[in-house]
Structure 1
Amino acid sequence: MRPAQSPPALITLIFSTALSVLSLNMFLPSLAHMATDLNTEYALMNLSIAGYLAVSAVLQLILGPMSDRFGRRPVILFCMSVFALASLGCVLADSIWVFLGFRLMQAAVVGGSVLSAASIRDQYPPNEAASKLGYVAMAMALAPMLGPMLGGTLDMLFGWRAGFVFYTGAGAALLMQLWMDMGETNHSRSATFGAQLREYPHLFRARRFWGYALCAAFSIGGFYSFITGAPLVAAAWFDLSPAMLGLGIGIITGGFMVGNFVTGRIAARTRLTTMILTGRIIASIGPFCGLLLFLGGQGSVWVFFGSAIFVGFGNGLTNANASAGVMSVRPQLAGSAAGLSGAMIVALGAIITSITGALVSPENGPYLVLSMMATSSFLGLVAVLYVRWVDAREPLPDAI
């Protein structure tokens, strides 16, 4: 381990990001068993997901500004401490309400992803930060693929509480890793909250910030549309088994990983908006062409899931670069910008998920899902074109 006075190693930030993703989905295969064991309804058990997302969205609005004021290190250490203790509380819970209370406290782990991104931006200029964020984002793609598999295996062997024992151990181990390796990276902290608050209007008035943030949110929105509607389409149109459906959903995640790998390789020497624009065009063309094929009677399982690959790959080219752009508008408020952008992504994801879930049916399944994916991807394209328009009229000294 390196001394905590030095900047954190990239692997430490990758682990912090991965755990924040695992905490959302690893225990999903256990929901039915948990509902039975805690003597509650499955619908109430689902609050462990919806409530967690709501709290994490709010926390991102708080943790980012706190890290701008007090530094990344103390805030992320506090978050991981809360997560480890809350995970232990979930292990010991003997009622649904006690469990839900500790489960909502687990949302503190979202600080791992928000503050890791801010820490990277503290250390590198925008393009190099985008490259590093691309590699970190690969962990965000891998964790959802492996997490439910690990959670299901632990449940099968030891029961559902084993997953939360894993969370407890992982949280404690990561806390120790952060303590020894997470040197402070925010060296331009505000002297007081008052001084920091006086900077916020500059961030909120920055048109580039809203362009980058909306681009990131609509990019992820296309993914939410897909995972919401794909199970119904797979069953009603293609009669796929759950295992094959899992493989199909993994396809979009695989595309995302490849896109992030490309970002990691070339973002340091490529303009941010060029990478984003390329990603948005690819992500828009895929589902649009897929929709045209379905309307022309040429739709198939390969067309449906193939369209998703374009969205995943395009998102991989987009998200790390958009995140770097968000945090580069006002570098001294990088944490606040990352938190606000993250909250927007969660909120818009919830809206798009709700719309897709309400409108999709066995009759319109692939048409609706592909339309939602194409629309969301296109709105992300509009957002980055807006940033390019602002850049043309208000060029930055160090164009990003």
Structure 2
Amino acid sequence: MKIQPASAAFTVLLGFLAAVPYSGIDINLPALAATGAALGASPSHVGLTMSAFMLSLAIAPLLYGPISDRVGRKPVVLFGLALFVLASLACAAAQSLPMLLICRAVQGVGAASTATTFAIIRDLFDEASGRAKIASVMIAINVVTVIAPSAGAALLTVGGWRLIYACQAAAGVVLIFAVLWGLGESARKSARTGADRRLAASAVVNDYLRIITHPVSIVFILVGAAAGSTVFAYVTGSSLYFIGVVGLQPRQYGMIFSACSAAVMCGAFLDSQLGRRGVAPANVLTVGLVLLSAAASTMLVTTLAGWSPPAFVAALLIAVALAFGLSMPNLMNATMQPLPDIAGAVSAAAGCVQLTSGAIASGMVALLFDGRTALSMAAVMAATSLLALALYLRFAVASSRRSSGRKASASADG
């Protein structure tokens, strides 16, 4: 019996699927040093396993998206989860760093299939319901990001770094059975026929051309990428600042990071509640992006002024996380709304652009870090958050209004 889309169980399933890529990052963080010791590699070189995984997460959805638009979401998710399981087992058995790097890249390719989760939401729900579902999925993702590092540390203590990968494989198997028995096909196959349903390269290219030339979708993709880059910058910069400059212990820093994850959940929950009360998504998104840029800009100004108490910086990061949770459900919903027939490709394009821009932002924070202040983190966060707000106010609002006007005119003519 398939799980009903309106049920809480369906939301939980989508949340666990969407969290697979994040669990593949966070649960392995405590084991980098132990993995390097076992394979005769330095922790910095083992850190490349994270890069290999994230690179796959950025690129693979570009293939999964168009395929899922044509053959359906469920086969793509099942294929990816099966690949994730096999690659996780291969990671657990790896005897050298080069082999582990290859297996991690393949593991990332498998995990990337779950990016179709947001396309599934777009398939099944209207704008208001979809916004609430995306918010719930974001809450589930952040629950995983809070739990995963501690779970990884516990598994490392009990059975070593290989047990972490074995447990990832076991979780993948459970999800395969959950998808097989509980998830129905959501893609509207009848909406695309003939040439549109071909998997030829030209058809896939045409899909992405439609996305990058669509005045609404492309702007929201860029806004989401800029806002996401702000978060990537704080994830990288916060550890450099609080551990490297302030001198906090990893456990103490973990409490700050957990507070930020909890703030994202609170923002997403608040957005879902506002949606149920009829608050327009554009209003919530505006507030979220203003709060995001205000908190990041305040951090930059106070850092330049030489006043940046750790507690104050932590409070600003929590405000950034709250704003991100408030904004992202609306951004994802607005990105996919104009092109429902290729929602998989739209979701893939948005994810790819966000991960790529986030990696650039993280790299800039690390390269510009002066070892004494939070300036590199604050500067990149302020720049990306202000860019997100400017793009939204200058282009996204106007494009959305023109699109709504055309729909209203078409309805009146009909």
Task: Return the TM-score normalized by structure 1.
Answer: 0.93
Q: Which deviations, in whole Å up to 9, do the C-alpha atoms of 1:13-61 show, x marking residues without a partner?
A: 1111122210122011111111111222333322211111111211011
Q: How far apart in 1 are the matches of 2:270 and 2:252?
A: 27
Give the residue type in structure 1 aligned to 2:164.
G
RMSD over aligned CA atoms reads 2.3
Q: How far apart in 1 are the matches of 2:133 and 2:77?
A: 19
Match of 2:197 in 1: 191
> Displacement of 1:341 after TM fit?
0.5
Match of 1:374 in 2: 382
Give the residue type in structure 2 aligned to 1:177.
A
Q: How does 1:15-164 map to 2 (within 5 A)?
A: 15-164=16-165
- 2:206 aligned with 1:205, yes or no? no
- 2:362 aligned with 1:357, yes or no? no
Q: Measured at CA, do residues 44 and 238 of structure 1 come closer, stay the same or move farther in structure 2, by a change above 3 Å?
A: closer
The answer (yes or no) to whether the contact 1:65–1:333 under 8 Å persists in 2 is yes
Match of 1:274 in 2: 283
Give the residue type in structure 1 aligned to 2:198.
T
Match of 1:285 in 2: 294
> Displacement of 1:328 after TM fit?
1.0
Q: Which deviations, in whole Å up to 9, do the C-alpha atoms of 1:191-236 show, x marking residues without a partner?
A: 3235665454332211211211111111111111112122232245
Report percent identity of matched pairs. Answer: 23
- 2:266 aligned with 1:258, yes or no? yes
Q: State which of 218, 224, 236 in structure 1 corresponds to 2:226.
A: 218
Give the residue type in structure 2 aligned to 1:2.
K
Bigger CA drift: 56-65 or 85-94? 85-94
> Displacement of 1:237 after TM fit?
4.4
Aligned residue for 1:183, secondary structure, equals: coil
Q: Which deviations, in whole Å up to 9, do the C-alpha atoms of 1:373-395 show, x marking residues without a partner?
A: 12211111112212102233443
Number of aligned pairs? 398
Match of 1:179 in 2: 180
Q: Measured at CA, do residues 6 and 292 of structure 1 come closer, stay the same or move farther in structure 2, by a change above 3 Å?
A: closer
Match of 1:228 in 2: 236
**5+ unaligned residues in a row in structure 2: which ranges?**
410-414
- 2:312 aligned with 1:308, yes or no? no
Q: How far apart in 1 are the matches of 2:251 and 2:400?
A: 46
Q: How far apart in 2 are the matches of 1:326 and 1:390?
A: 12
- 2:347 aligned with 1:346, yes or no? no
Aligned residue for 1:9, secondary structure, equals: helix
Aligned residue for 1:184, secondary structure, equals: coil
> Displacement of 1:314 after TM fit?
0.8
The answer (yes or no) to whether the contact 2:5–2:124 under 8 Å persists in 1 is no
Q: How far apart in 2 are the matches of 1:81 and 1:120?
A: 22
The answer (yes or no) to whether the contact 2:225–2:353 under 8 Å persists in 1 is yes
**5+ unaligned residues in a row in structure 1: which ranges?**
none
Give the residue type in structure 2 aligned to 1:191.
R
Aligned residue for 2:187, secondary structure, equals: coil
Q: Which deviations, in whole Å up to 9, do the C-alpha atoms of 1:222-278 show, x marking residues without a partner?
A: 111112122232245433222111112222222111101112222353333222111
Q: Which deviations, in whole Å up to 9, do the C-alpha atoms of 1:354-381 show, x marking residues without a partner?
A: 1111111123x22332222122111111
Q: How far apart in 1 are the matches of 2:99 and 2:300?
A: 46
Q: Measured at CA, do residues 126 and 236 of structure 1 come closer, stay the same or move farther in structure 2, by a change above 3 Å?
A: same
Bigger CA drift: 151-160 or 11-20? 11-20
The answer (yes or no) to whether the contact 1:228–1:357 under 8 Å persists in 2 is yes
Q: How far apart in 2 are the matches of 1:125 and 1:5?
A: 12
Give the residue type in structure 1 aligned to 2:14.
L
Q: How far apart in 2 are the matches of 1:6 and 1:250?
A: 30
Match of 1:10 in 2: 11
Q: Which deviations, in whole Å up to 9, do the C-alpha atoms of 1:73-96 show, x marking residues without a partner?
A: 111110001111111111222222
Q: How far apart in 1 are the matches of 2:117 and 2:243?
A: 39
The answer (yes or no) to whether the contact 2:16–2:141 under 8 Å persists in 1 is no
Aligned residue for 1:94, secondary structure, equals: coil
Give the residue type in structure 1 aligned to 2:197.
A
> Displacement of 1:292 after TM fit?
3.1
Q: Measured at CA, do residues 161 and 199 of structure 1 come closer, stay the same or move farther in structure 2, by a change above 3 Å?
A: closer
Q: How far apart in 1 are the matches of 2:20 and 2:267?
A: 21
The answer (yes or no) to whether the contact 2:268–2:325 under 8 Å persists in 1 is yes
Q: Which deviations, in whole Å up to 9, do the C-alpha atoms of 1:107-127 show, x marking residues without a partner?
A: 134345411110011001123
The answer (yes or no) to whether the contact 2:61–2:113 under 8 Å persists in 1 is no
